[in-house]
Amino acid sequence: MTARDSVADYKAPAWHVGERSAYLIRQDDDSRQRVYYDDTHNQRRYPVDSCVGRNTVKVSKLQASDNRQVMLKAAAEQMRGQGLTQMSVAEVAKAAGLTHGALYSHFGSREALQVQAMGQAFSDCADLFTGKTAKEFLQTYLSLEHRDHAEQGCPTSAFVSEMRLQSEPSRIAFWEGLQRSLALTAASLGLGAAPNQQSRAIFALSAMAGGMAISRAIRDIDETASANVLQAVDKQLRELVLSWSGRAQHKVGAKPKRLRSEKPPGSTSSAASPRARRRRPTS
């Protein structure tokens, strides 16, 4: 076999992951080999007996789980900050303090990492926005800080322009995360589960994510216009949210103003109508 042979070519591989290396042991009829992945994801094979002294210390299941979580968070931040197509496995591994081998031993492929990191990004977003009032929710989402730190913010606005070109597993992961974001939006804005309320949540999230994407797109060209986009969306959504709750035109408990053409309930006009004033012709 060549150094580029797939791990799938091995029979019953058993992975062992260390902090700085990853290897598997294959049992043949004649020999046992330990296969390493180095920092360029090339395979290096050594007989088990010749690996004494190499950095192959096994880690506990808890440590492996922690390593996995660190890699997911690093990938989720990089995907939001630099874009899906710009995500670098090397940079993710470096940010997590691990090697290529450790990363591939957990996820198997770049696409698998992207799909799972997308779910992590939506979870991070939920942690950021859950528990806020409607005003706080809109204010935080449409803030300049959120605009300038996409790597820590909402994945909907960060990923939406790229999703149509992604693989089906990635689009499915995005749709699942989007549904979570819609539920969070509805809860934060005080909307219920009725169909008309759900349509309002879809509208609100679409306006926020679209406004944020536009604001980021023109930030380096026109800072003032970029900020104005966020302010405009914030203002309009605040008024809509108030109108949805029935408080847009008047304060709570105040009587609504009556139009001049309207008559008070139970009142009658003292003047007869033009039709009533007409006299019937005599026969």
Q: Could you write out the DSSP letters of every residue in 59-117?
A: --HHHHHHHHHHHHHHHHHHHHHH-STT--HHHHHHHHT--HHHHHHHHSSHHHHHHHH
Indicate the DSSP class of residue 139.
Answer: H
pLDDT value for 171: 96
For the chain, 283 residues long, the average pLDDT of each consecutive 10-residue run is 42 41 41 42 41 45 72 94 91 85 85 94 94 95 97 96 94 96 95 88 97 97 97 96 68 44 52 53 57
Q: Where are the domains of the chain?
A: 7-51, 122-244
C-alpha 273/C-alpha 4 separation (Å) is 96
C-alpha 121/C-alpha 174 separation (Å) is 10
pLDDT value for 266: 56
Q: Are 182 and 198 in contact (CB under 8 A)?
A: yes
Paired residues of 15 in beta bridges: 24
Residue 119 CB-half CA count within 13 A: 10
20 CA to centre of own chain: 30
Query: pLDDT tens-digit profile of 244-280?
Result: 877 544 343 444 444 454 455 555 554 555 555 555 5
pLDDT value for 200: 95
pLDDT value for 279: 58
172: left (phi over 0), alpha (psi -120 to 50) or beta: alpha
pLDDT value for 183: 95
Q: Which residue has the tokens 């598997």?
A: 24
C-alpha 236/C-alpha 200 separation (Å) is 13
- In terms of Cα–Cα distance, which of 19, 22, 17, 54 is closest to 35? 22
pLDDT value for 277: 52
pLDDT value for 61: 56
Selecting from 1.10.3720.10, 1.10.10.10, 3.30.300.180, 1.10.357.10, what CATH number does the domain 122-244 have? 1.10.357.10
pLDDT value for 280: 57
C-alpha 193/C-alpha 199 separation (Å) is 10
pTM of the shown model: 0.65
pLDDT value for 273: 52
